[in-house]
Amino acid sequence: MSSLTLEDIARLTGVSRSTVSRVVNNHPHIREDVRKRVLDAIQQNGYHPHAAARTLASQRSSMIGLILPHSVGFFFTDPYYPHLTKGIAQACNALDYSLALFLAGTAEDEDKIFPRVARKGLLDGVIIQSGHHGDQWIIGRMVDARMPVVVCGRPFRSDNVSYIDIDNIHAAEQAVSHLIRLGRKRIATIAGPAESAVGIDRLAGYRKALVERAVAVDEALVIEGDFTEAGGFLAMQRLLPAKPDAVFAASDIMALGAMRAAREAGLRIPDDIAFVGFDDLPLASLADIQLSTMRQPVVQFGSRAVELLVDLIENGIDPPRRVIMDTELVVRDSCGLSRR
Amino acid sequence: MSSLTLEDIARLTGVSRSTVSRVVNNHPHIREDVRKRVLDAIQQNGYHPHAAARTLASQRSSMIGLILPHSVGFFFTDPYYPHLTKGIAQACNALDYSLALFLAGTAEDEDKIFPRVARKGLLDGVIIQSGHHGDQWIIGRMVDARMPVVVCGRPFRSDNVSYIDIDNIHAAEQAVSHLIRLGRKRIATIAGPAESAVGIDRLAGYRKALVERAVAVDEALVIEGDFTEAGGFLAMQRLLPAKPDAVFAASDIMALGAMRAAREAGLRIPDDIAFVGFDDLPLASLADIQLSTMRQPVVQFGSRAVELLVDLIENGIDPPRRVIMDTELVVRDSCGLSRR
DNA sequence: ATATTTTGTGAGAGCGCTCTCATTATAGCA
DNA sequence: TGCTATAATGAGAGCGCTCTCACAAAATAT
């Protein structure tokens, strides 16, 4: 039986409820012997504070929400999200917060989820994975409700909201520049969806690299993917007639699909065609030909998002803050350098 | 401002707090015009009930916890868990529960997590992903605390606890029998860790298939993996000297690693060596040679776990129930049938 | 020695809701 | 018309905690 209350422990130890509360919450001004006596009683009888009562009285739930909107639900085949979640969960553990996961598989899910996250007294703040136009409304409503929010990935309207991101344009530019430097002439890209910030930004970086190095952009070499392996595979098949000799894919998983298509078409990697992906998730080195990729620190990304959010919760919201994390080009076999 | 209370809405509409509560919770015996008036006021002023207050008063949080113990943390590279989580999240959405995720990356995490999940008034029930000896204590303590629990995967001590599982022994037996039927003579297995229920059971199924078909078990063909791609790769390398002509891996991701090792060793798949995995996650068909595998319905597995748990929460705990879900052998290229 | 601060403890007022019980308005039936 | 069922509402007692305030005891300053 563990439905003891503070009152019970107080009675058991002959002190008042207030004193027990002080002990439980580590407040000062408690005599050592009293503290010990109370702690013992708690230990012996297996007392655990009632979360809801505590939340109601203190107006703090010590719980944060992770919202993965509908637009992200599709991407759940991408290991990016589990890794991000892992980073978030770890930071929550470290900072003594609990994590509520709101995963919208469908648009209707989103409608069901919103009233729940909007409830007062459930969450102290939320992390929203974004990037899609359609996610703006959730972000907006959360901000309007004066709920501390950190967005993962640049939101489309980024005023009044704190977010954490990498410099996608710059990172993509670097990746493509590397391919140019290797002497590749017909560099294609498999971009992310045009409705997503990463899709837009990484494509912009691709174009920028070409323009700055005075390479003409051939639109036949630009194709949109959907962040799935199958999408990468299909995109590559559509790209083949344009005879690319290199591909920059906006995610590792798409790069893997593209490499599979290239191999099926009889192309040798990296001799006939080079590949650079984006993310550097463990699966990048899973393939037979290890994938060169633009590493982003996904797990730390999640952790930093939590740290930022907790800071907002505990020290106030404005002005909105933004954190840009570093990326790093990881050169492996798929672009023709560093052969074993 | 959305810190309105029931009382505020009551005042605004000229009724009592009780009446507003009834409207919010869809209780009967409310005059239509009153209901409408209240609903309008709620809509207009953006009222959302206070979750903690509601929980405190009703002793129901409508939140369930998913606990992924330390032993599972290692496996987070396996897409199995994201898929399971997806199934769980979907069912939560459908049944109007929120989901709290407790992901223990380390043993210390587990110690930090336990007091949180043990708090009264936070969770109505928990789903524990298990399979490892070390997870017993969490399960035991939850059950002792009379918290509704559903375990994913047969726990080591399964009395007094409801769980959901597949028949791992039978499934493994089927997979191996298939390889025997195809005429493979030296069938190896890359098992899961010996401390895990699936590791034990799938290995038992492997042995059973051989014994029942009067094939001698060569211990050189039995090796333990760790449910990672790299582990599968290493296991295969250690297996090669024993010259297997088929491998049954206890997970798809290990099978993929094993196939990579086989290919690197110059073996042709499936001509020289056949592979059967376990899970049938999307990545099974990601490889160049599509993987034959024992399909388990991972997403539904998660959903059923939630349904079972919610049933326990709402209709009582005992007797413990168990649900065994079906598996199905999916034959693809890697074991030499159904070539394109 | 008295005044003042610090330390240790208790009393009690909420936090915002649910739910039982009491009460009144309305309908159904003899 | 009165008498009982039912519908519709309000009053109010908690749920288990936190936190402010009051106050006594001990430590320090004057």
Q: State the pLDDT confidence band at B14, using cuts at 50, 70 and 90.
A: very high
Contact criterion met (CB < 8 Å) for B288 and A89: no
By C-alpha distance, which of A326, A237, A329 is closest to A278?
Answer: A329
Contact criterion met (CB < 8 Å) for B229 and A286: yes
Cite the beta strand spans of chain A per DSSP E: 63-68, 98-103, 125-129, 149-152, 162-166, 187-191, 222-224, 246-249, 274-279, 292-295, 322-325, 328-330
Residue A71 scores a pLDDT above 90: no
Residue B317 scores a pLDDT above 80: no
Residue A339 scores a pLDDT above 50: no
pLDDT tens digits, B15-51: 999 999 999 999 988 999 999 999 999 999 999 999 9
* 3-class state of residue A65 by DSSP: strand
Which pLDDT does position A132 carry in this prediction? 83
CA of B10: nearest nucleotide by C1' is D10
Cβ neighbours of residue B89 under 8 Å, at least 6 residues apart? A101, A102, A103, A105, B99, B302
* More confident position, A145 or B234: B234
| Distance, Å, B136 CA → D14 C1' | 38
Cβ neighbours of residue B150 under 8 Å, at least 6 residues apart? B125, B126, B127, B128, B162, B163, B164, B305, B308, B309, B312
By C-alpha distance, which of A65, A63, A228, A89 is closest to A151?
Answer: A65
Of B76, B109, B229, the CB nearest to A93: B109
> How far is it, in rounded angstroms, from Cα B100 to Cα A203?
36
pLDDT tens digits, B237-280: 999 999 999 999 999 999 999 999 999 999 999 999 999 999 99
By C-alpha distance, which of B302, B280, B15, B29 is closest to B150?
Answer: B302
Burial of B224 by CB count in 10 Å (0-12 exposed, 13-18 middle, 19+ buried)?
middle
- What does the longest C-alpha to C-alpha distance in chain A come to? 84
CA of B17: nearest nucleotide by C1' is D10
pLDDT tens digits, B71-129: 876 656 788 999 999 999 999 999 999 999 999 888 888 889 999 999 999 999 999 99
As given in the structure block, the two tokens for residue B88 are 């769980």
Of B49, B115, B256, the CB nearest to A119: B49
Radius of gyration of chain B from its Cα atoms, rounded to whole angstroms: 25
Determine contact, residues A100/A66, Cβ cutoff 8 Å. Answer: yes
Residue A208 scores a pLDDT above 70: yes
pLDDT tens digits, B205-221: 999 999 999 999 999 99
| Least confident residue range of A119-128, A305-314, B75-84 | B75-84
Using a CB-CB cut-off of 8 Å, the residues of chain B touching A255 are none
pLDDT tens digits, A160-177: 899 999 999 999 999 999
> How far is it, in rounded angstroms, from Cα B136 to Cα B160?
12
| Distance, Å, B148 CA → C16 C1' | 27
Phi, psi of B250 (to 5 degrees): -75, -5
Using a CB-CB cut-off of 8 Å, the residues of chain A touching B116 are 98
DSSP one-letter code for B242 = G
Using a CB-CB cut-off of 8 Å, the residues of chain B touching A76 are 82-83, 86
Beta carbon of B19 within 7 Å of strand D? Answer: yes
CA–CA distance from B180 to each of B173, B184, B213, B273 (Å)?
A: 10, 5, 8, 13
Beta carbon of A28 within 7 Å of strand C? Answer: yes
Share of chain A above pLDDT 90, in %: 80
Q: Which helix (H) or strand (E) holds B323?
A: strand B322-325
By C-alpha distance, which of B246, B251, B254 is closest to B275?
Answer: B246
Segment A125-141 mean pLDDT: 89
With an 8 Å Cβ cutoff, is A282 touching chain B?
Answer: yes
Q: Which of the residues B56, B76, B90, B142 would you substitute to probe the A interface, choosing the one with the greatest number of A C-beta atoms within 10 Å?
A: B56
Residue A318 scores a pLDDT above 80: no
Cβ neighbours of residue B271 under 8 Å, at least 6 residues apart? B336
Which pLDDT does position A194 carry in this prediction? 94
Q: State the pLDDT confidence band at B340, using cuts at 50, 70 and 90.
A: very low
Beta carbon of A9 within 7 Å of strand C? Answer: no
Of B50, B105, B122, the CB nearest to A119: B50
Beta carbon of B16 within 7 Å of strand C? Answer: no
| Distance, Å, B229 CA → D25 C1' | 68
Pairing relationship of beta strands A98-103 and B322-325 according to DSSP bridges = unpaired
* More confident position, A135 or B10: B10
Of A56, A81, A118, the CB nearest to B56: A56
Beta carbon of B17 within 7 Å of strand D? Answer: yes
| Distance, Å, B29 CA → C24 C1' | 14
Quick one: how far is CA A93 from the chain centroid?
Answer: 17
Cβ neighbours of residue A11 under 8 Å, at least 6 residues apart? none
Share of chain B above pLDDT 90, in %: 80
Which pLDDT does position A75 carry in this prediction? 58
Contact criterion met (CB < 8 Å) for A120 and B3: yes
Mean pLDDT of all residues belonging to chain A = 92
Q: State the pLDDT confidence band at A340, using cuts at 50, 70 and 90.
A: very low
Distance from CA of A3 to the nearest CA of B (A): 8
Contact criterion met (CB < 8 Å) for A51 and B105: no
Residues 83-112 of A with CB under 8 A from B: 83, 85-86, 89-90, 93, 96, 98-105, 109, 112
Q: State the pLDDT confidence band at B339, using cuts at 50, 70 and 90.
A: very low
CA of A59: nearest nucleotide by C1' is C15
> How far is it, in rounded angstroms, from Cα B47 to Cα A306?
28
Segment A302-319 mean pLDDT: 92
Residue A18 scores a pLDDT above 60: yes
Mean pLDDT of all residues belonging to chain B = 92
Q: Which of the residues A4, A8, A50, A126 would you substitute to probe the B interface, choosing the one with the greatest number of B C-beta atoms within 10 Å?
A: A50
Which pLDDT does position B105 carry in this prediction? 84
Which pLDDT does position B78 carry in this prediction? 85
Residues 310-329 of B with CB under 8 A from A: none
With an 8 Å Cβ cutoff, is A51 touching chain B?
Answer: yes
Residue A299 scores a pLDDT above 70: yes
Beta carbon of A7 within 7 Å of strand D? Answer: yes
Determine contact, residues B226/B203, Cβ cutoff 8 Å. Answer: no
Q: Would the CA dihedral through A313, A315, A318, A323 be positive or negative?
A: negative
Segment A274-284 mean pLDDT: 92
Give me the count of residues in chain B. Answer: 340
Chain A residues 34 to 63 whose Cβ lies within 7 Å of strand D are 47, 49-50, 53-54, 56-58
Of A100, A229, A256, the CB nearest to B98: A100
Closest alpha carbon within chain A to B111? A93
